[in-house]
Amino acid sequence: MSLKSCEKVETNVYQVEVHVEAADFEAAVNKAYLKNRKRISVPGFRKGKAPRAIIERMYGAEVFYEDAIDLVYPEAVEAAVKEAGHTLVAPPADVEFVSVGKDGVDFKFKATVKPEVEIGAYKGLKAYKEEIKVEASEVDARIEELRDRNSRMVTVEDRAAKDGDMVEIDFEGFTDGKAFEGGKAENYNLTLGSGSFIPGFEEQIAGHKTGDEFEIAVKFPEDYAEELAGKDATFKIKLHEIKEKQLPEVDDEFVKDVSEFETLDELKKDIEENIRKEKEHHADHEVDDQLMEALVAGLKAEIPDVMYENRVNESVRNFESRLNSQGMTLEAYLQYTGLDMEKFREGFRAQADMQVKGRLALEKVAELEGLVPTDEDVEAEYKRYADTYNMDVDTVKKVIPAEDIKDDLCITKAVEFIKDNADVKTGKKPAKKPAKKAEDGEKKAPAKKTAAKKPAAKKTAKKDEEK
């Protein structure tokens, strides 16, 4: 393969011309012949045994060209763009094969590539890390959660039902004096105060005792199912049983039952340490976010729309994969949430904007600082992947190209470099000062006129364009 020319035709788009040498194309044609000969019948030869020359004489010299082009095209495109010093961010467009034959292949295409990038200061970026404090009330709240998880429901008969109780009831609902579909159940367990039923239902059960039979009046919300929305309804209720939540006493015996510790003090110390670690982790992420925002603020680049679309596509695929692992399809999720695909994708766009800009900025930092992973770094990363997914290292290498590993490690090194050279202070991030408003009667400086800039032409990426 040889790059014939690469000319810029618009922002981040190049017209690329490529020549595939005769020897390379001939090798591809022969591979295509070996792949397809079993399907070709030629009189006088057993199926699959006819020589290539005979087949070409019968069907024409071009019989294997299409498959041969499929073999050489991807590698030729990748090599040409790389030789030109660019990186594709979308499939080639307007592909045209100028000539195909024994002299090789000539073709051209338009390549949308990564933009040229400039960044501002990336050393000494300022960030604020919140001081970590763990209050006794936070520890107590975690212990209450433990008590709640280890509670039990106990039947009570000497009092009326109240919020927090679980009641077992029969109920049947009526509108306009007639029972409606779905409004009846027997021996139904309901926790009062949970908000499981429409407003007013649970509140009117509170105050009744076991064995009571009574009626309650409610009004269905306006946004309820169409056949019941806004209607007045009456429910006949029979209360069979009341249960209250009984929490265990917090003492050393409780601690032994719910943890690996012997005493309450030991448990509290462990909970406090866990809360501290969680806050530390959260604070570190907040610092990372502040540094990334500061870095991206100094980014100058005309970024192709397709790069954002690619990132949105990736987020959608990841979300769909998580749904599938839980036994749900994306179509069902969209129906359940009332979203259409465009609104669903829109939810990922702000995140995609920061991810694309952040990666471009970090790549530039890595380039400027010469941050290159060693072979040992790459091997260690492959091992980490293998350990994480319980796979053999050689299997991981077949799935993930070394070039992708190196690119990600460059980003990691850039992040570490920025953090190592950042100015991080302890305390809360200062709030931005609101812009000062001119006092009544105060003269405002005349607005400075600037020449109108011609907007850059942008191509709208198709939704199904992939990386």
- Nearest CA to 191 among 212, 220, 163? 163
> How many angstroms separate the CA atoms of 9 and 216, rounded?
74
Please answer whether residues 463 and 345 qualify as being in contact, where contact means their C-beta atoms are separated by less than 8 angstroms.
yes
Please answer whether residues 87 and 79 qualify as being in contact, where contact means their C-beta atoms are separated by less than 8 angstroms.
no
DSSP 224-251: S-TTTTT-EEEEEEEEEEEEEEEPPP-S
pLDDT for 225 equals 79
pLDDT for 433 equals 65
Q: Residue 3, SS3?
A: strand
**pTM assigned to the model:** 0.73
Largest Cα–Cα separation, the chain: 103
161-216 residue pLDDT tens: 999 999 999 999 999 999 998 899 999 999 999 998 999 999 999 999 999 999 99
> How many angstroms separate the CA atoms of 109 and 97, rounded?
9
pLDDT for 313 equals 96
> How many angstroms separate the CA atoms of 417 and 145, rounded?
41
Query: What are 72's two structure tokens?
Result: 């050489």
- Please state, in angstroms and as integers, the Cα–Cα distance from residue 138 to each residue in 133, 251, 268, 381, 415, following that order: 10, 18, 10, 38, 33
pLDDT for 445 equals 36
pLDDT for 435 equals 54
Q: List the chain residues with pLDDT less than 50.
A: 438-467
44 DSSP assignment: T
> How many angstroms separate the CA atoms of 253 and 462, rounded?
63
> How many angstroms separate the CA atoms of 92 and 107, rounded?
12
pLDDT for 456 equals 31
Beta bridge partners of 15: 7, 110
pLDDT for 41 equals 84
201-260 residue pLDDT tens: 999 999 999 999 999 999 999 888 788 989 999 999 999 999 999 999 999 999 999 999
pLDDT for 430 equals 81
| C-beta atoms surrounding 152 within 10 Å | 10
Beta bridge partners of 348: none
Q: Write the single-letter amino acid at 207.
A: G
> How many angstroms separate the CA atoms of 179 and 174, rounded?
4
Beta bridge partners of 105: 20, 100
pLDDT for 434 equals 61
